A and B are shown apart, each in its own frame.
Chain A
Amino acid sequence: MSRFKDLQKNLFGGTTSNARQFGMIFTLVAIVLLFQFLTDGLTLRSDNLIALFQQNSYILILAIGMLMVIVAGHIDLSVGSIAAFAGILVAKSMTEWDLPWPLAILFGLAIGAAIGAWQGFWVAYIGVPAFIVTLAGMLIFRGGNQFIGNANTIPVPEGFRVIGSGFLPEVGPNTGYNNLTLLLGLAACLAVVWRELQARRTRHEMDADAGPLWVSILRMAVMVGVLAFVALRFASGRVGTSFPVSGIILVALVILYSFYTRNTAGGRHIYAVGGNSRAAELSGVKLRRVNFFVMMNMSVLASLAGMIFVARSAASGPQDGNGWELDAIAAVFIGGAAVAGGIGTISGSIVGGLVMAVLNNGLQLQGVGTDRVQIIKGLVLLLAVALDVYNKSQGRFSVIGSIMRPFRREASATPATSATGTEPAKTTVSG
């Protein structure tokens, strides 16, 4: 067991969140293989993989924003409604006001920013809990969508549909594969190798043990293998299909936001606020700005997701985005974020979202009805988080513990203070 732990530590860097991600990736692979077996190879077929990506890219984009919202200690229930609201306005802007589609996309992002500023204002500057602000937003913007569209469906022009249903074009010699997809896969493989070497160099510069070389090589080999396999699958689909444009947008956002949350001061501040907002404030973090930003950012991503969905379904309708908030939140929590904030990663949330997506897809391929799919998804969410809670209660952090932090802190602080420093007696004891 300890050998396994060592391996896991070596392969995934050894911190708690990484260990959790290891578990999630493992789960994802297991689910994929399970359905591959149950569906007689349907799951990993090119067309299914492509469809899976297209159908879920917008949820995964939402999960990115939701992760940041949840890490900061909030929640956003309005993303589905905002997506629908932005979608209908963008559709209308193109069909009725003849806005060219690239401008319409910018227009859509601006709508998201405006809505985000509105919600961020209430959360950050007035101090209304995000749950309430976004519950209100959920109603307001759902109603707004139906008010503006008269509860009708509005079609969108061909050019716009690219972001939802477009693919990398066919260029270059006929290799039997989509060349750009192959190139993309190659670039990804190189990036993986480069990052691994970079990480080793960083460890060396820190005078820290970088771990045995064979571990790095093994890790690189596995990653490159998986990427190559996926790239070939995407490249070898039906002619005219390849890696979807929405997938490219998603990958770009994942890279961008992973970098932001991990490697910039702004990202650190989000974790600091979610981990202990008072301590963050006393360390010079501008609490309001951080809260405003995460709420606003979420709405921008929600409007982007809405546009991608509209582009994919070729029209904006009154029921767009129904229930998305719950899928996004579920992805984030399955991906290891803590309910009380301060813990979670973008990559974890993406993996969490993929677990749900594969589950959904696999069950549908098997002909399981949506009723039972929902039941199973609900149970998976519950079990994933319950397992997490259980693990953390045994070890370092407990999700429930973090929720109860205000109470626990008082309780644990009392013995410490009365033991050594001052007048405690702050705990309320009567009743």
Chain B
Amino acid sequence: MSDAPILLEMRSITKEFPGVKALSDVNLVVRAGEIHAICGENGAGKSTLMKVLSGVYPHGTYDGDIVYQGAATRFSDIRASEHAGIVIIHQELALIPELSITENIFLGNEPRKRGAIDWKSAQRQARELLARVGLRENPDTLIKDIGVGKQQLVEIAKAFAKDVKLLILDEPTAALNEADSRHLLDLLRGFRERGITSIMISHKLNEIEAIADQITILRDGKTVETLNIKDDGVDEDRIVRGMVGRELSSRFPDHTPKIGEVFFEVRDWNVRHPISADRQVCKNESYVVRRGEIVGFAGLMGAGRTELAMSVFGRSYGVWESGTIIKDGKEIVLKSVADAIAHGLAYVSEDRKAIGLNLLDDIKTSTVSAKLSKITKRGVLDEVAEYKAAEAYRKELRTKAPNVDEGVSKLSGGNQQKVVLAKWMFTDPDLLILDEPTRGIDVGAKYEIYGIIQRLADQGKGVIVISSELPELIGLCDRIYTVFEGQITGDIARQDADPETLMKQMTSTKKMQTR
């Protein structure tokens, strides 16, 4: 296999976003006819790399060369890469539910006859394509009437309609059940026999081990290694080791935890998906938080960490089914966000721009926005109190802004995050749930935010940190729960927490023995 000609070579690809280097000097060599897996933690740069390849980030916005089919290529957009036979299938399917299979397959690529769409030919071709991907379904069926597994196959058929040579699949089995996953993997093997090259991004290490020929591991925007699954005898442990690396630098302020009694407890928490009612997002999850404790939640994308947090925070996500919340020995019922805030919960969301902040606000308005009652006197907002509170937090958290009249949209990510933290600290919470608190923030600001989190814990508050960065969880948390597919699979004390153990629990349903 390794003597097959090289189909694609990406050479020292570097891609920078304002303030962050997403990829630095990444190399990728894909040989014709192989299945090449790309692995890495969340944020390692896998998707960015694929976007560079497929022209989402056009030539000129990155450094480095792409050699495809022996020639240097410069894709200006997705159309250009698709024209060259590179088709990417995203995790979130790009199908239109109200259109039929045929219409979706040929969307933007419709066969024409004298200016009009030639539906007869489209139908015939659709039938052939569906046969190739092993989907027995009437091409007139609407997408919304078939399951996710079949939709995935339609996506692949759509790729074939574009005469694909290199098929890129981003987490193809993430949304599929066991049987559909197996079918898809069989299909990929079939493609390999017919000489189609695939790149597969996946978190499911067992699948990679089972199907891939080569694997390239990325970490922190750099290529760690490329391994041949068979020749190098790669197994899951080996991949995990590559993904998490070995060294953990001291990027965290020194901290001696002062952990008290359990004061917050969630028992047998069950939540269903808000739209597809048959999907259970939280499966019987139970956990506890002690005063002064920083508790981490580790899990891969889609494991249901955010969903768990938000459903607890006043049922702001999904359809609550069952489960109880106990705070300070008493059961509490939180039916709305207002209830949750009144009971001393705070939730700092992972996407501060989309749901954490009103970007039209200034710093002071944002700071007080979750507890206006605190600055209301006889029904009237006290502007002086508002200003003083905001100013106090600005100084305490060292938010970089000329004054609290500054619009939050003008602040950097780190400073915006400080405003969000101030907003929730202003509500005097007992339990803070921080969802990806350092996402999109540079290293210096991260250090400061870790310090803030530790101070909050030292004040006797409980803190839950949800993070995709394992080093962050290990460095910051006193205890870490691992979550996989809506279930808590491990409860790991700080001293036992290492990346390998965590990653193992994050990728398997096997429940680890609780201490």
Contact = CB atoms under 8 A, between A and B. Distances in A.
Contacts of A427: 56
Contacts of B409: 396-397
A429 B56 contact: yes
B239 interface: no
Nearest to A268: B372
Contacts of B383: 202, 206, 263
Interface stretch (A52-60, A374-382, A418-426): A418-426
Contacts of A421: 42-43, 350, 436, 439-440, 468-469
Given A418-B45, A425-B90, A283 B423 contact: yes
A419 B48 contact: yes
A98 interface: no
A343 B358 CA distance: 11
Contacts of B107: 430-431
Interface stretch (B263-271, B373-381, B498-506): B373-381
Contacts of A396: 407, 409-410
A413 B352 CA distance: 10
Interface in A200-225: 202, 205-206, 208
B413 A278 contact: no
A343 B362 CA distance: 12
A422 B355 contact: no
Interface in A244-282: 263-265, 268-269, 271-272, 275-276, 278-282
A431 to B, nearest CB: 4
A419 B42 CA distance: 10
B356 A282 contact: yes
A282 B337 contact: yes
B425 interface: no
Contacts of B388: 206
Contacts of B20: 419-420
Contact of B92 (A264, A282, A397, A425): A425
B216 to A, nearest CB: 16
B358 A280 contact: yes
Contacts of A343: 360
A205 B384 contact: yes
Contact of A275 (B313, B353, B360, B423): B360
Contacts of A426: 90-92
Contact of B376 (A265, A279, A342, A417): A265
A415 interface: yes
A15 B405 contact: yes
Interface in A278-298: 278-286
Interface string A395-431: 0110000000000010011011111111111111111
Given A343-B360, A422-B468, A281 B381 contact: no
Interface string B106-122: 01100000000000000
Nearest to B48: A418
Nearest to B17: A419
A33 B191 CA distance: 78
A292 B52 CA distance: 47
Contacts of B436: 421-422
A341 B407 CA distance: 17
A281 B82 CA distance: 41
A194 to B, nearest CB: 16
Contact of A417 (B46, B78, B439): B439
A202 B373 CA distance: 20
A423 B201 CA distance: 10
A430 B108 contact: yes
Interface in B1-50: 17, 19-22, 42-43, 45-48, 50
B351 A418 contact: no
27 contacts: A14-B405, A16-B407, A206-B387, A263-B381, A264-B376, A265-B372, A275-B361, A282-B349, A284-B337, A284-B371, A343-B360, A409-B353, A415-B17, A418-B17, A419-B19, A419-B21, A420-B20, A420-B22, A420-B439, A421-B43, A421-B436, A421-B468, A421-B469, A422-B468, A424-B47, A430-B82, A430-B158
Q: Which 9 A-B pairs have the closest CB atoms?
A: A275-B358, A421-B439, A431-B108, A265-B372, A419-B20, A419-B17, A283-B370, A284-B338, A275-B360
Given A413-B354, A423-B171, 11 more contacts: A14-B405, A202-B383, A205-B384, A265-B381, A275-B360, A396-B407, A417-B43, A417-B440, A419-B17, A426-B90, A426-B91
